[in-house]
Structure 1
Amino acid sequence: MTGLIELGGADMDPSRRAVLGAAGLFSVALTIPQYQDVVGRFETLRRNPRTRIGYGEVEAVAAMTERISEIDDMFGGRHARPMAAAFLVNTIAPYLQAEASEDVRKAMLSAAADHLYLTGYMAMDERADGLAQRYYVKALELASAAQDHLTYCTTLRGMSVQAVDLGHGPLSLRLADSASAASPEAGPRMTAFLSGQQAHAAAQTGHRAIALAKIREAEVAMEKAESKAKAFGSYDPSSLAYHVAQVRYALGDKEAAIEALEESDRTRYSIYRRGRVRHLGLLAERKLELGRLDEACTDWHRVLDDFPHVQSGRCDDRFRAMLAALRPYVKNTRAREVYDRARAIAASPRPSSREV
């Protein structure tokens, strides 16, 4: 499994983290085929006859991935990704080379694909977007080998999130549509998860009718999902409200976008601190666009309550945007208070990887 080991090794060595330019960022993603076209294409792994694994090892990988995901949600990608990279190199790669029954082997490939997806997501959160793309493509490869439609379409959706975040609207929509097509028998929560992203990408590319239809599809699916059972740790009403906000804003309804972001904040689980920082920062920016300076300052103060505890490139983006937005208003008492507080945080000792 040389490619996987090399990928994890590059992740652990900061000197080898090369972020591709915007023009070449999605060069690989542009040629991603549909799921059925790549099933069975995965190269046979070299086996190690001295090691054999069972379902216990698969469960351990899944449990570790879940735990790292929780740390990521609370503290950001820079805290959690080194653990994920080390676990990938030291544990998952050897497991993929071990002897196993066919069922166990497929289950391990699936667990490894999920871990790679999470590691790619954390790299994106750090703004190491080229590295994130490489993890995502490797996750697709392993998911296809495991015939794991769920992780395959989740990864494509993750690539769509990255693309729309970087302004690649048409590609984001293609990836979101491919993710939906790869999961034709999705349950209601998965349908909401996929349709919400399709709506966001469609709105960014000016496809108003598609965006509105898809966000409605997501809302109906979420109503069905919530009537059955709560699913902590997955796509939830707070996530959907964020997508509603993005769609409304892209279509020009800023007031509705603000209302949706406020709803997202009210319904968000407390563990999602990184999301709270990002989305409250966005909420404040959009309130300021409508002249609601005092409300924006209140939200920014909440951002600063959490920001020092989160190591995230995307949160850093919101922090920089806050400083830039406040500079014209520093003669206002409330704005100056937030601005000075933010400057003090920026000047405090931080891990060397943070640049704000």
Structure 2
Amino acid sequence: MEGLIDLGRGDMDPSRRSVLGIGLFSVALTVPNWPDVVGRMEAVQGGRSPRIGMPEVDTVIAMTERISELDDQFGGRHARPMAAAFLVNTVAPYLRADAPESVRKAMLSAASDLCYLTGYMAVDEGVEGLGQRYYLKALELAGASEDHLTYCTTLRGMSVQAVDLGHGREAMRLADAAAAASPQAGPRMLAFLAGQQAHAAARTGDRHKALAHLNEAEISMEKAEARAKAFGSYDPSSLHYHISHVRHELGDLPGAVTAMRESDRLCYDIYRRSRVKERATLAEFQLEVGHLEAACATWNEALDEYPLVQSGRVDRRMGKMFRLIRPHLKNPAARELHERARLVAPAALSA
């Protein structure tokens, strides 16, 4: 599967990174609809490699889970090179191998999930264009395997990327496409998709739509939690993260602070990267409402674990911290935070 091989090699070549950031969310970025990708993967042809079975599929699934755990704890900058190498050296040959149809579809699905994760880590690192390329490959593979879950998850991931980059309309389009392509979704999946729709709608300024989707997410989460708690998927911490951002976008700053604090309280220990990023965001919201010393305390909590995380998104949050506290350095708490941060953060962030 040459497209996947080329993508992995491009990922591992730092010299190409400057090119890959060009043209984000341009008109030329065409996201295929579900009917357009189902079963279509002409590049995946049998007869060129030894036969594979379910053990090889299980290997890809297990490796994806392990890499995801490393990403959660240490950030995409550490984990993505492992995923890229595994895609090139192991998964691509598996996709060329002979296999029964059931095994072939299972391998395509597993590869789709790994491509989505690798794209997510690229976005976390800040290599936005490369992340999009992985996301689009994940959509192709999901369609070829008829994997609705990864297809919808990938579209949602693209919406998250668009929101973070300030492209509200594109974020809304992608979030709506994810929801529309998810047939017979369970309540946790509905909450997962509706929460992102709410965030995207709030970014576009559509208050009515944002609150309607947020209500849908809250109702779905109540149903999901009543059935069974699910570690490692959309959970109450994630929902409160979306509640916080919707309230912030709609101008309810105290509500945004309360919801983000609750998200932090409910966050599982394993999600270190998310915890550091969201504590930094909470501090920004606290400063917006005029609580300078509370914000400094929260930023200090983020700094406790920041040296363990290699993430472009977290670095951006820390860079913003330096800019926000600079006017307040006459305050002892702000000055102490600034001095501590200079010792643990890259010098470029405090410039």
1:176-197 Cα distance to aligned partner (Å, 9 max, x none): 0000011021000000000000
1:113-156 deviations in Å (ceiling 9; x for gaps) = 00000000000001100000000000000100001111001000
* Aligned equivalent of 1:351: none
1:18 alignment partner in structure 2: 18
Aligned match of 1:172: 171
Displacement of 1:20 = 4.4
Q: Specify the alignment match of 1:301 in structure 2.
A: 300
Moved more, 182-191 or 8-17: 8-17
Unaligned runs of 5+ in 1: 349-353
Pick closer, same or farther for the CA change 1:327–1:135 going to 2, 3 Å.
same
The whole-number CA distance in structure 2 between the counterparts of 1:248 and 1:29 is: 33
Letter paired with 1:14: P
Using the TM superposition, give the Cα deviation of residue 45 of structure 1 relative to its aligned residue in structure 2, in angstroms. Answer: 1.9
| Counterpart check, 1:233 vs 2:240 | no
- State the 1:347 CA deviation: 5.4
Give the distance between the partners of 1:206 and 1:29, measured in 2 at CA.
25
The answer for the alignment partner of 1:89 in structure 2 is 88
* Deviation digits for residues 54-103 of structure 1 (CA, Å, limit 9, x no counterpart): 01110110010011000000000001001101110111000000110000
Q: Distance in 1 between matches of 2:27 and 2:305?
A: 36
Q: Helix, strand or coil: the match of 2:310?
A: coil
Matched, 1:140 2:139: yes
Aligned residue in 1 for 2:9: 9
Q: Give the direction of change, closer, same or farther, for the CA distance of 1:355–1:132 in structure 2 (3 Å limit).
A: farther
Please say if residues 19 and 131 of structure 1, whose CA atoms lie closer than 8 Å, have aligned partners that are also in contact.
no
CA distance in 2, matches of 1:355, 1:59: 41
Distance (whole Å) between structure 1 residues aligned to residue 174 and residue 346 of structure 2: 40
* 1:297-356 deviation digits (Å, cap 9, x = unpaired): 1101111101111000000011001111111111111111100000111358xxxxx977
8 Å CA contact retained: 1:110, 1:146: yes
Tell me if 1:255 matches 2:254: yes
Distance 1:159 1:172 in 2: 7
Note the C-alpha offset of 1:18.
3.4
2:150: which partner in 1?
151
Amino acid at match of 1:8: G
| Alignment correspondent of 1:76 | 75
One-letter amino acid matched to 1:252:
G
For 2:269 and 2:230, locate their aligned partners in 1 and report how far apart those are by CA, in whole Å.
Answer: 15
Work out whether residues 18 and 131 of structure 1, in 8 Å CA contact, stay in contact via their aligned partners in 2. Answer: no
The residue type equivalent to 1:324 in the other structure is: R
Q: TM-score scaled to structure 2, two decimals? A: 0.97
Count of equivalent residues: 350
Distance 1:58 1:355, change over 3 A: farther
Contact 1:238 1:265 in 2 (8 A): yes
Partner of 1:272: 271
State the Cα distance separating 1:47 from its structure 2 match.
2.9
- Shift of the alpha carbon at 1:33? 3.4
CA distance in 1, matches of 2:43, 2:268: 42
Say if 1:177 and 1:198, in contact at 8 Å, map to a contact too: yes
Write the deviation string for residues 232-262 of structure 1: whole angstroms up to 9, x where unpaired.
1111000000000010010110000100000
Contact between 1:196 and 1:218, CA under 8 Å: does it hold in 2? yes
Contact 1:29/1:137 (<8 A) preserved = no
Which residue of the partner structure matches residue 200 of structure 2? 201
Question: What pairs up with 1:12-161 in 2 under 5 angstroms?
Answer: 12-20=12-20, 24-27=23-26, 30-161=29-160
8 Å Cα contact 2:64/2:114 also seen in 1: yes
Query: Contact between 1:26 and 1:133, CA under 8 Å: does it hold in 2?
Result: no
Corresponding residue for residue 289 of structure 1: 288
- Compared with structure 1, are the counterparts of its residues 255 and 157 closer, same or farther at alpha carbon in structure 2 (3 Å cutoff)? same
Q: CA deviation at 1:19?
A: 4.8
Query: Is the contact between residue 12 and residue 85 of structure 1 (CA under 8 Å) also seen in structure 2?
Result: yes
User: Which residue identity is paired with 2:32?
Assistant: P
CA distance in 1, matches of 2:27, 2:98: 31
Aligned equivalents of 1:188 and 1:151: distance in 2? 16
User: Retained in 1: the 8 A contact 2:318–2:349?
Assistant: no
The one-letter code matched in structure 1 to 2:36 is D
For residues 271 and 164 of structure 2, what CA distance do their matches in structure 1 show?
A: 19
CA contact (8 A) 2:142 2:148 kept: yes
Unaligned 5+ runs, structure 2: none
**Partners of 1:72 and 1:265 in 2: how far apart?**
18
1 CA distance for matches of 2:85 and 2:27? 25
Distance 1:10 1:347, change over 3 A: closer
Change (3 A) 1:144 1:355: farther
- 1:105 and 1:46 map into 2 onto residues whose CA distance is 10
Partner of 1:315: 314
Aligned-residue Cα RMSD (Å) equals 1.5
| Contact preservation (8 Å) 1:75, 1:274 | yes
